[in-house]
């Protein structure tokens, strides 16, 4: 067993080292320090190996700490949960989330490269390799989660045994569901991690998770004895499941099912991904040969593109708008029939408008728009010199910006109207201008993200001929964008001030973006090798 674990550890670190060196070679300026033959240079490999070991240790705790902090701890303050109610609140959120995670994030059924290399390519004994790595991952999960739970739980009035019980529950939940998935496999059914959920299921899941937090705002939480009962049931389930997991004989077939779907072959992974991406994109393109336009030039090109990609662009925008409208309608109804909660919502809206920066980030379709542009338009037209002329680039940039703004404004406008109406119904504002500023700022945020994604697409053009993202700067910018938007959730600024600042920033950003695109895009807007 120890030998298998050691081989697994070395195999995992080998490709991590190469991945780290490759990542450094993708970062501007830094990549000059890493020569092309860096993968064979001992000094650089030792450097990357140390980073790999530190990352493995860091990730064991960091992700659990971040999970508990963002999913539970910060809401204790926002919902003003007393120390006496903290154990109940922790259990109220973590018990359902842990059960969900046991199905969708279970190491036993997670495709990973080192599993593919070991069991499929090197032919290692599947059962021994799977069990050793599974129990090792369970141990890591327990240590990391227990440390995170003790870190936050003790500080919020929980007892040590509460924290350790949550860690034990996480381990038992993942173990208890394994036989269920194995039985599904033996019956020829898809594993839960591989089943593609339809829109209705996704909406139901999102509403269910949001509902957990929403009912806690109004003081309703799952009773502690119910949470304890569920935890006890999963502990018993794990004890029953463990012998079945150990005796299970079809680990090779199970792993082939999981891994071959993800890694067709070591040499063809990227080709398969490109093929799947193109297939998925083409499914959403209209094949109607009757689609035409009475415009000319770039306007003609743009109108044909929008009409043929209506499902990608407007379809998702309409669905998002409907969901937003329903949520806002429900919240308005709550304000009408529950005056006490209405006052709390009014206070929340008045000082938490920055929260909606993240909402607008999440619903914006800018990234999907640029992906569709490259795959089904620019990928071919960038081979023509006229297409890369400064005047042509700026003209088409303006046309495309107008279209994506229209697509993104639909949910933004509905959200702005709904939020202003919710503020009015929940108690109103001392300054009537606030209603208009809320609406305009929501629209301004939508416009900002539309401009942002189209601008970095033109300035960085991250895709190569195979539609793979090959620009390290693009990855860094999109990651920073996400982190800043997430950080805005915790910023407390009066709605009127934040709205005015948002509008001013958006106007300045659009002007700067057009200037940068005109000046630099002729050099950067091209297909990368």
Which residues span the domain enclosing 469?
Answer: 291-524
Helix (H, G, I), strand (E, B) or coil at 145: helix
- Quote the CA–CA distance of 481 and 441 in Å, as a whole number: 18
Say if residue 387 is in the same domain as residue 316.
yes
Tell me the sheet residues that pair with 463. Answer: 469
Say if residue 478 is in the same domain as residue 399.
yes
Say if residue 404 is in the same domain as residue 453.
yes
Asked whether the beta carbons of 184 and 190 are under 8 A apart, the reply is yes
Query: Is position 77 within any domain?
Result: yes
Say if residue 185 is in the same domain as residue 312.
no
Query: Is position 26 within any domain?
Result: no
Structure tokens belonging to residue 169? 């529950």
Query: Is position 15 within any domain?
Result: no
Domain boundary among 265, 299, 330: 265
Per-residue tens of pLDDT for the chain, all 529 residues: 677 777 777 777 777 787 777 777 766 667 677 777 777 777 888 888 888 888 888 888 988 988 898 888 888 877 778 888 888 999 999 999 999 888 888 888 888 777 877 787 777 888 888 888 899 899 999 999 999 999 998 888 889 999 999 999 999 999 999 998 898 888 887 776 655 555 556 667 777 888 888 888 777 899 999 999 999 999 999 999 999 999 998 888 888 887 775 554 444 445 554 555 555 555 555 555 556 677 777 787 777 777 776 776 777 788 888 888 888 888 888 788 777 777 777 777 777 677 788 888 888 887 878 877 777 777 777 777 777 777 787 888 888 888 888 888 888 898 888 888 888 888 877 778 888 888 888 888 888 888 888 888 888 877 765 556 666 678 788 888 888 888 887 777 777 787 788 888 888 888 888 888 878 887 777 766 5
- Quote the CA–CA distance of 508 and 513 in Å, as a whole number: 9
Q: How many domains does the chain have?
A: 2
Say if residue 95 is in the same domain as residue 192.
yes
Query: Is position 372 within any domain?
Result: yes
Say if residue 429 is in the same domain as residue 475.
yes
Say if residue 153 is in the same domain as residue 234.
yes
Say if residue 183 is in the same domain as residue 225.
yes
Measured CA angle at 346 (ends 345, 352), to 5 deg = 80
Residue showing tokens 């503020």: 423
DSSP H or E segment with residue 211: helix 199-217
Q: How far apart are the first and last CA of the chain?
A: 45
CA 312 to chain centre: 19
Say if residue 380 is in the same domain as residue 504.
yes
Say if residue 183 is in the same domain as residue 144.
yes
- Quote the CA–CA distance of 44 and 48 in Å, as a whole number: 6
Query: Is position 51 within any domain?
Result: no
Residue-wise DSSP of 518-529:
HHHHHHHSS-B-
* C-alpha dist (Å) from residue 243 to 103, 236, 239, 240, 255: 19, 12, 8, 7, 19
* C-alpha dist (Å) from residue 175 to 105, 140, 171, 181, 186: 12, 14, 6, 11, 18
Asked whether the beta carbons of 157 and 87 are under 8 A apart, the reply is yes
pTM for this entry: 0.61
Query: Is position 368 within any domain?
Result: yes
Structure tokens belonging to residue 331? 């919240």
Say if residue 114 is in the same domain as residue 79.
yes
Query: Is position 280 within any domain?
Result: no
């Amino acid at each position: 067993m120890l030998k298998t674990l050691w081989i697994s550890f070395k195999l995992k670190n080998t490709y991590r080292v190469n991945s780290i060196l490759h990542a450094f070679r993708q970062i501007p300026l830094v990549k000059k320090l890493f020569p092309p033959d860096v993968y064979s240079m001992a000094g650089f490999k030792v450097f990357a190996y140390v980073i790999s070991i530190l990352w493995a240790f860091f990730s064991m705790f960091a992700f659990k700490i971040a999970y508990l902090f963002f999913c539970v701890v910060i809401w204790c303050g926002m919902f003003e949960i007393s120390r006496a109610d903290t154990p109940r609140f922790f259990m109220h959120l973590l018990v359902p989330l842990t059960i969900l995670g046991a199905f969708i994030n279970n190491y036993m059924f997670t495709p990973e490269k080192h599993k593919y290399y070991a069991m499929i390519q090197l032919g290692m004994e599947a059962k021994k390799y799977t069990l050793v790595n599974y129990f090792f991952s369970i141990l890591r999960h327990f240590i990391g989660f227990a440390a995170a739970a003790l870190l936050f739980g003790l500080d919020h009035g929980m007892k040590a045994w509460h924290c350790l019980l949550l860690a034990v529950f996480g381990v038992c939940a993942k173990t208890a569901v394994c036989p269920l998935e194995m039985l599904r496999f033996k019956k020829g059914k898809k594993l839960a991690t591989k089943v593609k959920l339809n829109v209705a299921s996704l909406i139901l899941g999102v509403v269910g998770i949001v509902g957990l937090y929403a009912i806690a705002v109004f003081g309703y939480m799952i009773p502690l004895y119910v949470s304890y009962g569920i935890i006890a049931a999963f502990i018993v389930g794990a004890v029953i499941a463990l012998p079945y997991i150990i005796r299970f004989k079809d680990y090779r077939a199970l792993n082939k099912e999981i891994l071959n779907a993800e890694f067709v072959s070591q040499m063809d992974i990227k080709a398969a991904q490109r093929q799947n991406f193109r297939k998925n994109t083409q499914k959403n393109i209209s094949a109607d040969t009757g689609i035409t336009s009475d415009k000319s030039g770039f306007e003609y090109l743009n109108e044909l593109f929008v009409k043929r990609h209506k499902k990608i662009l407007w379809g998702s925008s309409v669905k998002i708008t409907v969901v937003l409208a329903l949520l806002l309608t429900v919240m308005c109804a709550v304000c009408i029939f529950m005056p006490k909660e209405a006052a709390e919502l009014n206070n929340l809206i008045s000082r938490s408008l920055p929260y909606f920066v993240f909402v607008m980030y999440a619903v914006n379709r800018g990234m999907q728009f640029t992906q569709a542009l490259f795959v089904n338009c620019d990928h071919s037209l960038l081979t023509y010199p006229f297409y890369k002329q400064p005047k042509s680039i700026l003209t088409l940039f303006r046309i495309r910006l107008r279209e994506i703004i229209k697509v993104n404004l639909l949910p933004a406008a509905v959200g702005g109207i709904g939020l202003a109406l919710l503020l009015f119904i929940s108690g109103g504002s001392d300054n009537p201008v606030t209603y208009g500023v809320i609406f305009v700022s929501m629209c301004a945020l939508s416009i900002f993200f539309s401009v942002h994604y189209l601008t970095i697409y033109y300035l960085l053009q991250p895709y190569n001929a195979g539609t793979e993202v090959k620009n390290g700067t693009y990855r860094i910018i999109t990651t920073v964008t996400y982190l800043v938007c997430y950080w805005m959730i915790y910023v407390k600024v009066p709605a009127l001030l934040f709205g005015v600042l948002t509008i001013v920033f958006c106007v300045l950003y659009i002007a700067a973006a057009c200037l940068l695109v005109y000046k630099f895009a002729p050099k950067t807007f091209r297909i990368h090798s």
